[in-house]
Amino acid sequence: MALYTKYRPKRFDEVVGQKHIVQTLKNAVASGNIAHAYLFCGPRGSGKTTTARLLAMALNCEKGPTPEPCGECEMCTAIHEGRATMDVIEMDAASSTSVDDVRELRETVKLAPAHARYKFYIIDEVHRLSRSAFDALLKTIEEPPPNVIFVLATTEPNKVPPTIVSRCQRFDFRKGSVSEIKKYLERVCKGEGIEIEDSALSLLAEQAEGSWRDALSLLEQVWAYKQNERIGIEDVEEVLGIVEAETLSRFVRAVAEGRFAEGVKIIEEVLNRGNDPKEFLRALTNRFRELLLINMRAESLLESERRSQLRREASYFSPDVLLKMLEECFSSESWLRLSPSPRLPLEMLLVRLIQIGGKWEEIKEGKLAVEEEALAEEAPTGKAPAEEVPTEEVSPEEVVPEEEMGEEEGIVMEEEGVVGGIELEEEVGKAVEEKKIERIDIMVIKERWDEILRMVDERDVPLGTLLRQSRARPISLDERCLTIGFPKNQEVWKNSLEKNGEKQEKLLAAVRAVFPGFSRKIKTMLIEEEEKGEEVKMEVERREAEVKEKSKKEESEEGKIFLSIFPEARRIR
């Protein structure tokens, strides 16, 4: 016999987690104020059908009506075991959805009870009835014959027509908490002689997701695996395919430290163990939720034995970062559902989590450092002779006199004369690059602003649209910042760019695509509309100059044609 059948409550007091409903029904039976129709709503495994049977037992017990049915008489035994009787009828609306099924029910309702005091109809999953079936049931529920009671059970009360709901007494069953289900499982384990670790019980209670029946089914599954041996948390994780807590901790650390390779390795381990990718994503989402609770000083909602570990992981991220990570986890659910390969969405999620965690720049710098170390290992060591300096690769235009570069920027020479050829080339390249960067001024950036916007479009089309529609433009350039000006009536767009570091980085990447080596930061400010008029005036003057230059060229061409036709005009001139 299954555990959930064996431990099905026989008395109202044995129902767990639904005290508000049990007490109300007991009082109604004791006082005789029985409604003709009840609507039991709640998640699966919360006790809806069991409570309906207990109500039928209380009203039809040989010693009743009584709020404490004996559970031993023939009627109580038949109802408790779910055996069909003429007076207590259970109907599954999921398989009997048509109007014909309801019409047949209406015919039997007219008949008086054969053996019991009340004729009981328990309709499970009532929301699955068709619209016409609900219409046929409406009149019967509104004015049923004497001694007929309906109990409608559903997991989706929003799908039950309001006309039906308004004619029933509604009771909402709630999910069991982790602590309540854990205590319930402890009682069952004690009764069955099952040895199990406390942490394993906690994990089973969490995996039940508030369902009392699911908790017993999971316990029975693990018990069948271990038989007479002690059950540990590792056994529960292995049997149920749960992602290990240590695996989640390693993954979170990999995200916090920006170790992409380690994160990919963990994903591969999870998939190779046969864990469901959706289960891994669900567990990861729940872990970030727990870290957010820790950061928001709500750790009392978590199990006490896990708080110390979670505190360490919560210190890696701020609440804002955790919120963004949760959003990414939610959006990845659709990718995981649609993707033919479960590995790719998880790896994409890993990249986005590292970006959100602020480690992306450090990863790029670390990569460059590795490449530089590899190049340093390949390059020859020691000093090269002076005659081996590759002077032919450096053009005369690129060589900058030392006195023009200043003392700090000058190329350092050793006492012997020159450094090795490779070192000299690197220093010259740095000096030339610095001079190129120094020659960038605000006028050059303004002239090439349209080109920069095209580079922005290649990286982020919405950002390019934002900059164009808001009439943003470069205003000034100093040693630290490139200032982008927004008209005063575009303050919303200005704030949008100012508060979004990712957008600023994309804009800087576009600037660097046009001006390699550009290293300033982005700054935003509001400007007067008059500055726009001045810029328009400058643009008009520039275009007028272009028209005049074009006219001169055309006149020159016309003169050449005229002289070719009338060469004697040369003598006149």
In angstroms, the CA 338 to CA 322 distance is 25
pLDDT of residue 373: 46
Q: What element of type H or E holds 150? A: strand 148-154
Give me 435's structure tokens. Answer: 């001079």
Q: How many CA atoms lie within 13 A of 298 on its CB side?
A: 8
Q: Write the DSSP symbol of residue 53.
A: H
Q: Is pLDDT larger for residue 325 or for residue 542?
A: 325
What is the Cα–Cα distance from 520 to 506, expressed in whole angstroms? 13
Residues 146 and 137: their CA atoms lie apart, in Å, by: 16
At 557, give phi and psi (nearest 5°). Answer: -65, -40
Q: Give the integer Cα–Cα distance in Å for 56 and 108.
A: 18
Mean pLDDT in residue range 51-78:
85
Mean pLDDT, residues 550-571 taken together: 60
Rounded CA separation 23/14 (Å): 12
Give 159's DSSP letter: G
128-142 pLDDT per residue, tens? 888 888 888 888 888
- The pLDDT of residue 88 is 86
Contact residues for 191 (Cβ-Cβ < 8 A; gap 6+): 7
**Reported confidence tier of residue 274, pLDDT bands at 50, 70, 90:** confident
pLDDT band at 547 (very low <50, low <70, confident <90, very high): low
Round to whole Å and give the CA distance between 471 and 531: 12
Identify the pLDDT of residue 405: 46
Q: How far apart are alpha carbons 513 and 490 in whole angstroms?
A: 27
pLDDT in the model for residue 429: 47
Q: Which residues pair with 191 in a beta bridge?
A: none
Hey, what amino acid is at 196? I
Q: Is 484 exposed, middle or buried (0-12, 13-18, 19+ CB in 10 A)?
A: buried
**Average pLDDT, stretch 115-125?**
86
Contact 248, 283 (CB under 8 A): yes
Confidence (pLDDT) at 39: 93
Three-state SS annotation for 190-217: HHHCCCECHHHHHHHHHHCCCCHHHHHH
Rounded to an integer, the average pLDDT of 242-264 is 88
Which 3 state secondary structure label does DSSP give 172? Answer: strand
Tokens of 340: 């033919």
DSSP, collapsed to helix, strand or coil, labels residue 324 as helix
pLDDT for residue 490:
82
- Average pLDDT for residues 412-438, to the nearest whole number? 43
Q: Answer whether 326's CB lies under 8 Å from 289's CB.
A: yes
In this structure, are residues 496 and 483 in contact, taking their beta carbons and an 8 Å threshold? no
Residue 40 scores a pLDDT above 90? yes
The pLDDT value given to residue 38: 92
Report the first-to-last Cα separation within the chain, whole angstroms.
121
According to the model, what pLDDT value does residue 294 have? 86
Lowest mean pLDDT among 22-31, 198-207, 385-394, 451-460: 385-394
Spatial strand order of the sheet with 148-154 comes to 88-92, 119-124, 148-154, 37-41, 169-172
Which tokens sit at 314?
């919560």
CA atoms within 13 A on the CB side of 559: 8
The three-class DSSP label of residue 239 is: helix
- The predicted structure's pLDDT at residue 402: 44
Q: Evaluate if residue 422 carries a pLDDT over 70.
A: no
Q: What pLDDT, in 10s, does the model give residues 373-383?
A: 444 444 444 44
If one compares 178 and 388, the residue with the highest pLDDT of the two is: 178
**Dihedral, CA atoms, 258, 261, 262, 267, nearest 10 degrees?**
110
Residue with tokens 């994903």: 267
pLDDT band at 569 (very low <50, low <70, confident <90, very high): low
The predicted pLDDT at position 135 comes to 85
Mean pLDDT of the chain, nearest integer: 78
* 213-22-51 Cα angle (round to 5): 45
Please answer whether residues 138 and 105 qualify as being in contact, where contact means their C-beta atoms are separated by less than 8 angstroms.
no
Reported in sequence order, the residue ranges of 416-561 that DSSP labels E, i.e. its strands, are 473-477, 481-487, 521-527
Q: What pLDDT shows up at residue 257?
A: 87
The edge-to-edge listing of strands for the beta sheet with 521-527 is: 473-477, 481-487, 521-527
**DSSP character string of 265-311:** HHHHHHHHTT--HHHHHHHHHHHHHHHHHHHTT-GGGS-GGGHHHHH
- How large is the average pLDDT for residues 217-231? 86
* Top-confidence range, 270-274, 389-393, 410-414, 493-497: 270-274
CA-based nearest residue to 139, from 164, 120, 158: 164
Compute CA distances 93 → 27, 87, 122, whole Å: 29, 18, 10
| Predicted confidence (pLDDT) per residue in 475-510, tens digit | 888 878 888 888 888 887 888 888 888 888 888 888
The vertex-506 CA angle with 501 and 509, nearest 5°, equals 125
Helix (H) / strand (E) element for 120: namely: strand 119-124
Is residue 39 within 8 A of residue 160, CB to CB? The reply is: yes
How far is the C-alpha of 260 from the C-alpha of 331, rounded, in Å?
20
Residue 561: the pLDDT is 60
**Are 348 and 308 spatial neighbours (Cβ–Cβ below 8 Å)?**
no
| Least confident piece of the model among 34-48, 109-123, 396-410 | 396-410
Cα(301)–Cα(311) distance, integer angstroms:
13
Confidence at residue 173, expressed as pLDDT on a 0 to 100 scale = 92
Cα–chain center distance at 311: 21
Amino acid letter, residue 142: E
Phi-psi group of 391: left, alpha or beta (phi > 0 → left; psi -120 to 50 → alpha; rest → beta)? alpha
